[in-house]
Amino acid sequence: MSELTTIARPYAKAAFELAVEKGTVEAWNEMLFFAGQVARDEQVQALLGGIATEAEQSDVFIKLCAEQLNEQGQNLIKLMAENERLAAMPAVADLFAELKADYDKEIDVNVVSAAALAEDAQAKLVAALEKRFARKVKLNCSIDETIVSGLVIKAGDTVIDGSIRGKLDRLVTTLQS
């Protein structure tokens, strides 16, 4: 995976810089998301793997994406096919989405709780997290009854474990050492 990320980074960065310059960041994000989903499909991977020339691969890929790709998106596909990098398209889409989120000063936050959070609790949590991260927060809530009580918050590399289960686990570790 890290090899594909390394391969995809310059393509994602170039596409992002072009999108910012042209003011089409959202359109590019949608276009690359779609192309990434097409490239992830196992049948598409098998189809492209059976095609000998890069030009034919790009033509097939562009036809599969149909009107979802504008001219610049088609040029990106052709360039990636010429350089035998179409397999990195999902990573390009993911990296572009990360660049867009950073540009928009947004962050996805996963919150796990023992029970469903009320809307007012979610609003307070969003306000506190926006203050802490200095970004607009998109909250993704899920329920896991095994954490007993409290919350586990994951935002990027940051994990805040305020659950009873987490506290009990830390207590056990402390007592054993």
Could you tell me if 14 and 96 lie in one domain?
yes
Could you tell me if 63 and 148 lie in one domain?
no
Could you tell me if 119 and 49 lie in one domain?
no
The pLDDT of residue 51 is 78
Could you tell me if 84 and 114 lie in one domain?
no
The pLDDT of residue 16 is 93
Where a domain ends, among 102, 135, 153?
102
The pLDDT of residue 65 is 86
The pLDDT of residue 139 is 92
Distance between CA atoms of residues 126 and 128, nearest Å: 6
The pLDDT of residue 55 is 82
The interaxial angle of helices 25-40 and 42-49, nearest 10 deg, is: 80
Where a domain ends, among 102, 128, 145?
102
Distance between CA atoms of residues 102 and 132, nearest Å: 16
> The domain spanning residue 54 has which CATH number?
1.10.520.20
3-state secondary structure at position 113: strand
> How many distinct structural domains can be found in the chain?
2
Distance between CA atoms of residues 155 and 132, nearest Å: 11
Distance between CA atoms of residues 40 and 42, nearest Å: 6
Could you tell me if 50 and 89 lie in one domain?
yes
Could you tell me if 69 and 83 lie in one domain?
yes
Distance between CA atoms of residues 170 and 168, nearest Å: 5
Q: What is the DSSP letter of 117?
A: P
Could you tell me if 95 and 110 lie in one domain?
no
Could you tell me if 11 and 93 lie in one domain?
yes
Candidates 100, 96, 106; CA nearest to 14 is 96
pLDDT in tens, the chain (177 residues): 568 888 899 999 999 999 999 999 999 999 999 999 998 888 888 888 887 788 888 888 888 888 888 889 989 999 998 888 888 999 999 999 989 988 888 888 999 998 899 999 999 999 999 999 888 998 999 999 888 888 999 988 889 998 888 888 889 999 998
> The domain spanning residue 122 has which CATH number?
3.40.30
The pLDDT of residue 122 is 92
What domain range includes position 83? 2-102
Could you tell me if 41 and 109 lie in one domain?
no
Where a domain ends, among 80, 102, 124?
102
